[in-house]
Copies of this chain bind each other. A is one copy, B any other.
Amino acid sequence: MSDLEVRQLRYFVAVAEELHFGRAADRLGMAQPPLSRAIRTLERHLDVRLLERTTRRVELTPAGEALLRDARTALDAVAAADRRARNAGRPAPSLRLALKADYDAGLLPLILAAYQPHEAALPVELTLGGRGDQDPALRDGRADVAILPAPFDRHGLDSEPLLTEPRLVAMAAGDPLAARASLRLADLAGRSLPDGTFADMEGRPSGREGAGMSPPRGARSWDLAQIFNLVELGDIIWFLPVSLARRYPRPGIAYRTVADLAPSELHIAWPRDCRSRPVAAFVDAAMTVAAASFPRIDGRPRMTG
């Protein structure tokens, strides 16, 4: 009759992800036997078989798959409770803004200027994360609000689009394609992108969900300087919003328009059912600024898609 415990969920998630008791125990920093026992206890507690296991293979039952999903969100919720309580207890609580470095389309100073005077405003603390780390940060309470490019995993979040801006391709200045008058995605087929995918896969959803998921775990995360270096060397090409291209003019790199390259959508996102006034005020400031400053980005009226 006792309760499900966080530890049991953590253990189960580790085993379900590794599909291997030894490695999971390793990851959890414990020995394998107590882990086996804990899973068994969990199964008895739920009166459900979660893993079908032989000595050579471990696989999830349907119930296990269901629990894996629910356990992840439950663990996120617990972690969020932890982190938010910590932040709320600090003498001067701050608004933690998660941002992909430089992916603010130049709006950040304007947004901050619009936000600070608000009566509910808190000091803003920037949390710069790698690619695809903004949305998880919101879910597990590391951040209160995030500005990030679509697509991202909307699970557990509310969001609003801030602005849409065209993207350019960055390539080495000496690249033969840089001399072309116009480019299409097809011309870039086979070129590799910073995340290891290829240019002609651009925009295609990788997972089953059309809503757009974060890149898979383990995707390499580069910082901007690294990317620019690789581009200049001709190793990769890169798609980036015009605002970012303007911020980093560089002799060795050519920026070109690509006729059929989807534009970039910058969104602002926050935890669902968030009742925090500072967050609401920040979202409001960001949307106001974005709406007002958009014409400066490319001179055309706002559009989506």
Chain A residues with a Cβ under 8 A of chain B: 3-7, 9-10, 46-50, 61-67, 69-71, 73-74, 76-82, 84-86, 88-89, 141, 155-156, 272-273, 275
Contact = CB atoms under 8 A, between A and B. Distances in A.
A85 B156 contact: no
Counting every copy of the chain, the complex holds 2
Which 7 A-B residue pairings sit nearest by Cβ, starting from the closest? A48-B89, A70-B81, A63-B89, A74-B77, A66-B88, A67-B85, A63-B88
12 contacts: A46-B89, A63-B85, A63-B88, A66-B85, A67-B81, A67-B84, A67-B85, A70-B80, A71-B81, A73-B81, A155-B273, A272-B272
A48 B4 contact: no
Given A3-B7, A7-B5, A273-B155, A80 B74 contact: yes
- Taking each of A10, A66, A80, A141, which has the highest tally of chain B beta carbons within 10 Å of its own beta carbon? A66
Nearest to A49: B89
B273 A48 contact: no
A85 B6 contact: no
Contact of A10 (B3, B46, B63, B155): B3
A92 to B, nearest CB: 12
Nearest to A155: B273
Contacts of A141: 70
Nearest to A43: B89
Given A73-B77, A88-B63, A275-B69, A82 B155 contact: no
Chain A interface helix/strand/loop/mixed:
helix
Contacts of A275: 69
Q: Residue among A50, A69, A80, A141 with the most chain B CB within 10 A?
A: A69
A91 to B, nearest CB: 11
A48 B88 contact: yes
A38 to B, nearest CB: 14
A127 to B, nearest CB: 18
A50 to B, nearest CB: 7
A21 B58 CA distance: 45
Nearest to A70: B81
A286 to B, nearest CB: 23
Given A81-B71, A275-B69, A47 B86 contact: yes
A84 B73 CA distance: 13
Given A272-B272, A273-B155, A273-B156, A81 B74 contact: yes
Contacts of A85: 46, 48, 50, 63-64, 66-67, 70
A46 B86 contact: yes
Contacts of A4: 6, 78-79, 81-82
Contacts of A61: 89
A46 B84 CA distance: 10
Nearest to A81: B70
Nearest to A273: B155
